Structure 1
Amino acid sequence: MGKANKNNWRKALKWALALLGLLIVSLFAIPSMFNDIISNEIKKGINSNLTTKLQFKDSNISFFNHFPALTFSFEEVSLASTKPFEKDTLINAKELGFGVNVFKLIFSDKVVVNQTYLTDCNIYLIKDAFGRTNYDVYKATDTTAVAKDTTASGLNLNLKRLQLDNASIHYIDNANGLTISSHGLNYNGRGGIVDGKLELGSRLDVTSVDVTFNHTDYLNGKKIKARSFTIYDSENLSVALDKNTISLNDLKVNFNGNLDVFENGVAYNLHFKTEDGTLEKVMTALPPKYAEWSKEVTLKGDLEAKLQLAGFSGIVPEAAAVNKMDLEVSIANGTVKHHKAEEALENLYLKFKGDITNERFNVKVDTLDFTLNEERTHGHAYINGKADSLYVKSAIKSHLNLNILNQTLNLPDLSFNGILVADINTDGIYQPQTSRLPKTNGILKLTDGSLQTSGHPEPIKAIELDAIIENNGETYDASTLTIKALNFSFLNNQFTSAAFFKNFDQPEYDITGKGTIDFTALNEVIALPLAITNGQLTADAHLKGQVNKPQSKNTNSGTLSLKDLAFTTDVLQYPVEISEGQFLFLNDKMAFTNLTVKHQSSDVVMDGYFQNYLNYALLSEGVLQGDVQLKAPKIDITEFFPKEEQLSSQTDSITNTNTIENVVSGVMQIPKNLDLAIKVNIDSLNYNTLIITRLSGDLGLKDQGLFLKNSTLNMVEGSAKIEGFYQPTSLKEALFSLNLDAKNLNIEKGYNSMELFKELAPAAAQASGSVSIDYDIAGVLDDTMLPVMPSLKGKGTLKVHNVQFEGYKLMGKVSEKSGFDALNDPKISEITINSTVNNNVLDIERFKFKVSPFRLRAEGQTTLDGNLSLKMRIGLPPLGLIGIPVVIEGTSEDFNVKLGKQSKDLNDETTEANTINTELEDLNKRKEALRNSESTNKINTLQQDINQIKSDSLKTKE
């Protein structure tokens, strides 16, 4: 028996050695035997599926690169990006490998790739400001054709595994200001198809991740470890995320949810939850400067957090059309203390739950409590409703020594001091439409305050705030706000102010302000909630009175000076800069002088006064009234049009290039709540290619419309009187009306400069000479600020003087048909043409003119999109009593000339012009009722009052 066992062991050992030998031989033989088949199929498959070229130094096939997988590898790989980034590299790698299914290869002679490897690689993913990407390298295929022809290629890409070893991935999204760089990335993903659904498991380890958003670092050098399990349902185009865990340094977060892709939109619903969270672990996941700060801080306390994010874009089913953010945070037994501090922030408790669903708020702070230096801060809050109707109940009570808190926290790039006292209670409904405010009683007091950030070397010092708010009646008129002091010192400029407001419906006010504010430096210290970005303001003013009450009760006085002020507004495309300006408060008026304003290349100097300025500033329905004298060396109207960047293709004989240009995208908007009468005097007014000089007249801004009266100007070598109005009806459309009486305009320059001239007088393209126009025209402007032709309605007279036609196709064909050479390229001394425009048709009344030796008569119709139906009569010499009738029909590019008497009427079914008639008539009445600006003498008197004030009153007294 022992001998038999010994023989069996020998046989087994022989077989094992034989199998081992066969395996070793196979490891070398199989790659050699199938090298050509595998190489050809993979190279052919890659070339047929990629839009850019894959370059490599060498290739090999082996079991040993990624044992035990048989791997075909490209070495020293480089793949170029797609257009327009073709000069950039998308991927470079030491190795790009494809794992081949050995059994399929041997028994079916098919190359089935089920694994992909990238080793020591750099991947660059770029998205520019126009949404163009560099990584769309995979050719689009006809999925139906592919499904039917599964044997067309010997290559079968059935990827069950993707492995990245030591990868660096750089994602740059210029459209959204996002940059992500990851280094030392190792990824191993496996998967398969179960019950028609693709299940993917993955493991991700990243040595270092940097995330920058809007120039702020969020994850600088963070380590990430992730485990996930994902189900992809191709039938329903959805991704379900389950059993996912991600680690940001020491903080673990579980997440799950789903992503649903519909025909025209995407919806998502994601849930995140911390796992065994503590304040210390949270700090390791914060932006770099706080992570470093946390190393010097004792952080204790338990933290639990949950976050749900749901949203959608595009068109999705109603059940999926939900925007929601739900956040729960709980902190218990918290302690924060910097190593250098003597006191600790202790007993920190926070219990917060809030969600925002489809613009509805439901926020609850059950507990906010901590102690510092034996002083307790505690409070709670509850908010429910929408922005225009909220129920608010809150209470906060604190006596906080900010000097000690600053030492306790020792925050990076931030230092503050002072004593803060707060005791505020609120309970009730905020509803501005019905003038409701919650019952509120409270005080807020800050003494000996200071604030310094890394943005500026100097701190804001001597901050004093002493405010009391009272409202016991839950209405606007029962409310009072008393600001006993709001003072600070910055850059040796002291600013002091105080204010009292009563009855928020029609506020009684008592406001004082004195000193200088340097907004340029102040914005470097702290981001102000203001549109003002730069400049200085100096004030010495006392305003007292009541809004919407007889002006005799208002005793406003003092001065305000601006210098190098810059601010932005949603209405204008570019920042507005005020290089200088002085204001004087004279009871109900705020006069100003030498207000010098710049907007891009447009320069304006204004003098005048405003009324109702506090009503306008304090109440949303307040209307700012005023009379202004405006002088400008140059204004470019196109700079006030809304614009956006778009791609523009330029083609030449050598190459096609894409450039970026600003194009008009919407009509010029007029600010609300203005009633201004402006006397204008402009040296140069630019409108696209049209240059207007010496424009003077009365301009009115009222009811979100712009009205022009009594104006004169010079353009295209002639002079004109002009009146009209302009009013936007939406962001993409506006109404306009123009009454133009122009003398001796140069036809060539007018045609090249005025788009409307081209449409109403296309024959001017082949004419030289001068023309006079007396025309009333109205209609609609589109989102490129050009007329919508079918909407135009108008009538008037066109007179031409000494016109020479050269190459005018219409007269050339009439000459050819009639046999009269004198009618080709005629010279005409005088023509008077009356016409009307309506429903896209230009009706030309009968008019007469001479082309020696003939007397001609013409009339008819032409549509604004180029259809012609004209009649002419060629009167023969000597007196034109005998004439030849001519009919011209067709389009401006292709028309027929025949001898005859009948021509058809051109009717257009367009009724758009009729729908705006009522609005145009109403705007015209308002233009006629527009008040003129105050006399120059009255405005000059106000300027003298300002100039008589001593300059010392505009400076802060020490």
Structure 2
Amino acid sequence: MEKVNKNKFGKLLKWVSALFLLLIISLFAIPSIFNDLISEEIKKGINQNLETELQFKDSNISFFTHFPSLTFSFQNVNLSSSKPFEKDTLINAKELGFGINVFKLLFSDRIVINETYLTDCNIKLVKDKFGRNNYDILRATDTTAVANDSSSTGLNLNLKRLKIENATVEYTDNDLGIRVFSHGLNYNGKGGIIDGELKLGSKLDITSVDVVFENSEYLKGKKLKAKSFTIYDTKNLSIALDKNTISLNDLEVNFNGNLKVFDNGFAYNLLFKTQNGTLKNVISALPPKYVEWSKDLSLKGDITAKLHLAGYTGSVPKASKINRTDLTVNIYDGYIKHKDADQALENLYANFKGDFKDNWMNLRLDSLNFSLNKEITTGQMFVKGRTDSMYVKSNIQSNINLNILNQTLSLPDLEFNGILAADVTVDGIYEPQTSKLPKTKGVFKLTDGYLLTSGHPEPIKNIELNAKILNEGQSYAESSLTVNALNFSFLDNPFTSQGYFKNFDQPKYDIKAKGRIDFTTLNQVVELPFLIVNGQLNADLNLKGQLNNSQNENSNSGTLNLKDVEIKTSILQYPVLIKEGQFLFLNDKMAFSKLAIQHQSSEVDMDGYFQNYIDYTLLSKGVLTGDLNLKSPKIDITEFFPKEEQLIQQSDSTANINTTESVVTGVMQIPKNLDLAIQIKIDSLKYNSLNITEFSGHLGLKNQGLFLKNSTLEMVDGTAQLKGFYQALTTKEALFSMDLKANQLNIEKGYNSMSLFKELAPAAAQASGIVSIDYSLTGTIDDEMLPVLPALKGKGTLKVHSVKFDGYKLMGKVSEKSGFGALNDPKVSEITIISTVDNNVLDIEPFKFKVSPFRLRAEGQTSFDGDLSLKMRIGLPPLGIIGIPVVIEGNSEDFNVKLGKKSKDLNTEATTETNYSQEELNSLSTQKDSIRSGNSADAINKMQQEIKRVKSDSLQK
């Protein structure tokens, strides 16, 4: 029996050994047998499917590279980026491998690749601000034809697995302003297509990841691990995120939701949550310096958080137009203490829940409590309603020794000291439209304050704030704010101020401020919420009075000096630099002198005064009035137009070339709440290709409109008078009107520098000489700051003093048709042409002119699209009593000249809808005619001297 069992075991062992030997032989034989076939098909398939070049040093095929997969590998790979980044490298790697389905290889004539491997690689992904990327490397193929051709042989890509080992990935999206740097990235993803849906499961492990968004750092140096199961519905262009988990160092976050992609937009609905987290976990997800800082801390406490984001961008179906954010954060029994500190921040509790939906909010901070050095800080808050009408209830009580808190936390790059006490209670309705404020009683006091950051080696010292707010009647009128002190010292420059405000409907104020502020260095210590980013300010102010005071009993005095102050605003594409300027305050007027301003290449010097400046500064409804005297050696109007870089395609004899240009992308906006009368004198004014010199006149800014009258200027060798108005209707459209009287203009220069001149007088392209214009025009301007031709309306006169035509096609054809050679390239003089513009058509009234020996009369219509419908009479010598009628019809590029008496009218039906009414035009025209003339330069200077004298006398007393 034993002998039988031994024989059976021996046979089994022989079979197993034989199979094992066969397997070993196969592992070496199969790659050798199929090496040429596989190598040829993969290289051919790559060349057929890639738009860019793949370079490699060597290749091999083996079962042992990624056992047990049969893998064909390229060694030392370099893959170029797609156009227009073809000179850059997309991927370089030690290995690019393809896993091959062995059974398909042995039992069919097809090579099926279902795995891809990248090892020890660097991947650089780039998307520029125009949406072009460097990773669009696959050639477009007819996937339907390939799928139906089951008989074809060759390479079949059916990827079910992607594995990346030890990768460095850099992703830059200049369109969104985001950069991601990943080091030590390992990715293992599996999936496949089931019922038309691509289902992917993946594992991601990154040693270090940095994220920079709009120049702010996020996740710097974080370890990242992720597990996910994601479904891509290719039919409906949507992504479902399910069972996704991500770990940032020790903080684990679960998320799910969906993303739906439409033709012109996308919608998202995402839920993020972390449970059973701790304060230590949360801090581990902060930037590296805080992780290092936390190693010296004793940290305790639990935290749970949930964030629900639902929104959309672009154009999406109505059902997907959801805009909502829900946030819940709970912190329990928190404890923080640095190892070198004597005291701990203890008993930290916070329960917050917030819902935001469109313009509606519902916020609840049930508790914010902690204790430090036996002093307890408590706070609660409840807000419900719209941003312009909400119920607010809040209570905050605190008495914190910031010196102890600074030692307890010992935050990196930040040091602060002082004693902070606050007791604020708020309960009621906030509704600014009806002047409602919640019932409020609060005090806020900070003494011996000190702030030092890593941005500057010097601290802000001697910070003192003592403020009290009171409102017992729940209205603006019954509210008051007292700031007994707001003081600080920086770079040995003390700044002191105090103020009192009562009745927020028509505030009474008493403000004192004295000292010097260096915004350049102060912004390095702490980012200020101001438009001022650089420069110095010296103040010595004493302002006392009441806003909207009809009795004019305000008692304001003092000086304000500015030097190298740089201001950035979204209204202008470039910063505004105030090189220097002095402001003098006396009662209701604020005069200024030697105010030198630069905006890019434009330079302006101004003198003048403002009224209602306190209302304008403190209340959004306040209107700043004033008279200004403006002088400038040069102003380029196009620098004030909103612009952005765009991709421009140019063609040459061989190919299309993509270049970038800064183009206008909106109309010039005029600030609101201004009522200014400005005397202007500009030596050189540039508008696109038009250069204007010796420009002077009166400019008014009012109701977000710009009004010009009594102006004179020199352009294209002539002189002109100009008046009109301009007002932006939206960010993309503006309304304008102008009355131009110009004498002795050079036709050639006018045609080459004025785009509107080309449209109103297309024949000027073949003309030289002198003309005068008296024309009134009204219309709209598009987002390229150019007139919308179909919307133009106007009437006027063109006087031809002496003009010579050279190669004018229309007169050439008339000469050819009539047989009168004198009409070809004629020279004419002293002609008056009256015309009107409406609905895209220029209607020319009958006018007469001489071309020796003929007397001619012409009239008709031309459209801005180039259509012609003209008729002419050629009066024969000697007196022109006998004439030959001529009709000209067609397009300016291709028209017919024939004898006849009638020509059809061009289509004068409304060709465009205007966004303005005749009432609006009349109102703006009235404002233009009645705009304040303002004081003369001499009157402004005299008033400034008077203010200086009064201030000097008051100081002597």
* Shift in Å, 1:318: 3.4
Q: Does the CA contact (< 8 Å) of 1:71 and 1:100 recur in 2?
A: yes
Q: Does the CA contact (< 8 Å) of 2:264 and 2:315 recur in 1?
A: yes
Equivalent AA in structure 1 for residue 569 of structure 2: T
Equivalent AA in structure 2 for residue 849 of structure 1: F
Task: Give the structure 2 partner of residue 419 of structure 1.
Answer: 419
* Shift in Å, 1:153: 4.6
* Shift in Å, 1:822: 1.5
Equivalent AA in structure 1 for residue 488 of structure 2: F
Task: Give the structure 2 partner of residue 876 of structure 1.
Answer: 876
Task: Give the structure 2 partner of residue 831 of structure 1.
Answer: 831
Task: Give the structure 2 partner of residue 893 of structure 1.
Answer: 893
Equivalent AA in structure 1 for residue 336 of structure 2: V
* Shift in Å, 1:235: 4.0
Greater shift after overlay, 629-638 or 881-890? 881-890
Q: Is 1:630 aligned to residue 630 of structure 2?
A: yes
Q: Does the CA contact (< 8 Å) of 1:251 and 1:275 recur in 2?
A: no
Q: Are residues 265 and 803 of structure 1, via their aligned partners in 2, closer, same or farther at CA, if it must alter by over 3 Å?
A: closer
Task: Give the structure 2 partner of residue 803 of structure 1.
Answer: 803
Q: Is 1:932 aligned to residue 902 of structure 2?
A: no
Task: Give the structure 2 partner of residue 646 of structure 1.
Answer: 646
Q: 2: distance between equivalents of 1:951 and 1:128? A: 60
* Shift in Å, 1:524: 0.9
* Shift in Å, 1:176: 3.0
Task: Give the structure 2 partner of residue 744 of structure 1.
Answer: 744
CA displacement, residues 612-639 of structure 1 (integer Å, 9 cap, x when unaligned): 1112222222211111111111111111
* Shift in Å, 1:193: 4.5
CA displacement, residues 876-899 of structure 1 (integer Å, 9 cap, x when unaligned): 222222222221111111111112
Greater shift after overlay, 91-100 or 545-554? 545-554
Task: Give the structure 2 partner of residue 134 of structure 1.
Answer: 134
Task: Give the structure 2 partner of residue 341 of structure 1.
Answer: 341
CA displacement, residues 533-562 of structure 1 (integer Å, 9 cap, x when unaligned): 111111111111111121422111112111
Equivalent AA in structure 1 for residue 339 of structure 2: H
Q: 1: distance between equivalents of 2:810 and 2:430? A: 71
Q: 2: distance between equivalents of 1:101 and 1:499? A: 81
Task: Give the structure 1 partner of residue 13 of structure 2.
Answer: 13
Q: Say which SS state the counterpart of residue 5 (structure 1) adopts.
A: helix
Q: 1: distance between equivalents of 2:387 and 2:94? A: 56
Q: 2: distance between equivalents of 1:712 and 1:238? A: 62
Task: Give the structure 1 partner of residue 381 of structure 2.
Answer: 381
CA displacement, residues 60-84 of structure 1 (integer Å, 9 cap, x when unaligned): 2211111111111122211111111
Task: Give the structure 2 partner of residue 919 of structure 1.
Answer: 920
* Shift in Å, 1:315: 3.1
Greater shift after overlay, 504-513 or 174-183? 174-183
Q: Does the CA contact (< 8 Å) of 2:541 and 2:560 recur in 1?
A: yes
Q: Are residues 239 and 869 of structure 1, via their aligned partners in 2, closer, same or farther at CA, if it must alter by over 3 Å?
A: closer
Structure 1, gaps ≥5 residues long:
none
Q: Does the CA contact (< 8 Å) of 1:217 and 1:288 recur in 2?
A: no
CA displacement, residues 287-339 of structure 1 (integer Å, 9 cap, x when unaligned): 12211111222222222222222222233343432223322222222221122
Q: Does the CA contact (< 8 Å) of 1:804 and 1:828 recur in 2?
A: yes
Q: 1: distance between equivalents of 2:649 and 2:397? A: 63
Q: Is 1:217 aligned to residue 217 of structure 2?
A: yes
Q: Does the CA contact (< 8 Å) of 2:109 and 2:153 recur in 1?
A: no
Q: Say which SS state the counterpart of residue 280 (structure 2) adopts.
A: helix
Q: 2: distance between equivalents of 1:369 and 1:618? A: 35
Task: Give the structure 1 partner of residue 313 of structure 2.
Answer: 313
Task: Give the structure 2 partner of residue 707 of structure 1.
Answer: 707
Q: Are residues 150 and 644 of structure 1, via their aligned partners in 2, closer, same or farther at CA, if it must alter by over 3 Å?
A: farther
Q: Are residues 196 and 900 of structure 1, via their aligned partners in 2, closer, same or farther at CA, if it must alter by over 3 Å?
A: closer
Greater shift after overlay, 139-148 or 529-538? 139-148
* Shift in Å, 1:241: 2.5
Q: 1: distance between equivalents of 2:90 and 2:218? A: 25
Q: Are residues 449 and 295 of structure 1, via their aligned partners in 2, closer, same or farther at CA, if it must alter by over 3 Å?
A: same
- 1:935-946 to 2 correspondences below 5 Å: 935-946=936-947
Q: Are residues 241 and 778 of structure 1, via their aligned partners in 2, closer, same or farther at CA, if it must alter by over 3 Å?
A: closer
* Shift in Å, 1:8: 0.4
Task: Give the structure 1 partner of residue 24 of structure 2.
Answer: 24
* Shift in Å, 1:654: 5.9
* Shift in Å, 1:175: 2.6
Q: Does the CA contact (< 8 Å) of 2:840 and 2:911 recur in 1?
A: no
Q: 2: distance between equivalents of 1:893 and 1:796? A: 26
Greater shift after overlay, 268-277 or 879-888? 268-277
Identity of aligned residues (%): 69
Q: 2: distance between equivalents of 1:457 and 1:349? A: 35
Equivalent AA in structure 2 for residue 131 of structure 1: G
Q: Does the CA contact (< 8 Å) of 1:551 and 1:588 recur in 2?
A: no
Q: Are residues 271 and 672 of structure 1, via their aligned partners in 2, closer, same or farther at CA, if it must alter by over 3 Å?
A: same
CA displacement, residues 31-77 of structure 1 (integer Å, 9 cap, x when unaligned): 22222332233223322222212222222221111111111112221
Q: 1: distance between equivalents of 2:882 and 2:329? A: 98
Task: Give the structure 1 partner of residue 272 of structure 2.
Answer: 272
Q: Say which SS state the counterpart of residue 477 (structure 1) adopts.
A: coil
Q: Is 1:545 aligned to residue 540 of structure 2?
A: no
Task: Give the structure 1 partner of residue 571 of structure 2.
Answer: 571
* Shift in Å, 1:828: 1.6
- 1:424-439 to 2 correspondences below 5 Å: 424-439=424-439
Q: Say which SS state the counterpart of residue 477 (structure 2) adopts.
A: helix
Equivalent AA in structure 2 for residue 924 of structure 1: S
Q: 1: distance between equivalents of 2:54 and 2:255? A: 37
Q: 2: distance between equivalents of 1:386 and 1:143? A: 52
* Shift in Å, 1:794: 1.3
- 1:675-714 to 2 correspondences below 5 Å: 675-714=675-714
CA displacement, residues 661-711 of structure 1 (integer Å, 9 cap, x when unaligned): 111111111111111111111111111111111111111111111111111
Q: 1: distance between equivalents of 2:686 and 2:805? A: 29
Task: Give the structure 2 partner of residue 482 of structure 1.
Answer: 482
Q: Is 1:468 aligned to residue 459 of structure 2?
A: no
Q: Say which SS state the counterpart of residue 227 (structure 2) adopts.
A: strand
Q: Say which SS state the counterpart of residue 131 (structure 1) adopts.
A: coil
Q: 2: distance between equivalents of 1:680 and 1:553? A: 32
Q: Are residues 355 and 822 of structure 1, via their aligned partners in 2, closer, same or farther at CA, if it must alter by over 3 Å?
A: same
Structure 2, gaps ≥5 residues long:
none
Task: Give the structure 2 partner of residue 162 of structure 1.
Answer: 162
Greater shift after overlay, 807-816 or 155-164? 155-164
Q: 1: distance between equivalents of 2:829 and 2:265? A: 64
Q: Are residues 490 and 437 of structure 1, via their aligned partners in 2, closer, same or farther at CA, if it must alter by over 3 Å?
A: same
* Shift in Å, 1:3: 1.0
Q: Does the CA contact (< 8 Å) of 2:160 and 2:191 recur in 1?
A: yes
CA displacement, residues 474-496 of structure 1 (integer Å, 9 cap, x when unaligned): 11111111111111111121111
How high is the TM-score relative to the length of structure 1? 0.97
Task: Give the structure 2 partner of residue 754 of structure 1.
Answer: 754
- 1:318-337 to 2 correspondences below 5 Å: 318-337=318-337
Q: 2: distance between equivalents of 1:813 and 1:918? A: 46
Greater shift after overlay, 425-434 or 937-946? 937-946
CA displacement, residues 871-926 of structure 1 (integer Å, 9 cap, x when unaligned): 12222222222222221111111111112222122232125478643322221122
Greater shift after overlay, 577-586 or 349-358? 349-358
Q: 1: distance between equivalents of 2:259 and 2:954? A: 65
Q: Does the CA contact (< 8 Å) of 2:645 and 2:661 recur in 1?
A: yes
Q: 2: distance between equivalents of 1:212 and 1:66? A: 35
- 1:833-872 to 2 correspondences below 5 Å: 833-872=833-872
* Shift in Å, 1:222: 2.2
CA displacement, residues 240-289 of structure 1 (integer Å, 9 cap, x when unaligned): 32332222222222222222334443222222222432212222211122
Task: Give the structure 1 partner of residue 117 of structure 2.
Answer: 117
Q: Say which SS state the counterpart of residue 105 (structure 1) adopts.
A: helix
Q: Are residues 603 and 367 of structure 1, via their aligned partners in 2, closer, same or farther at CA, if it must alter by over 3 Å?
A: same
* Shift in Å, 1:735: 1.3
* Shift in Å, 1:194: 4.8
Task: Give the structure 2 partner of residue 245 of structure 1.
Answer: 245
Greater shift after overlay, 833-842 or 175-184? 175-184
Equivalent AA in structure 1 for residue 599 of structure 2: H
Greater shift after overlay, 74-83 or 262-271? 262-271
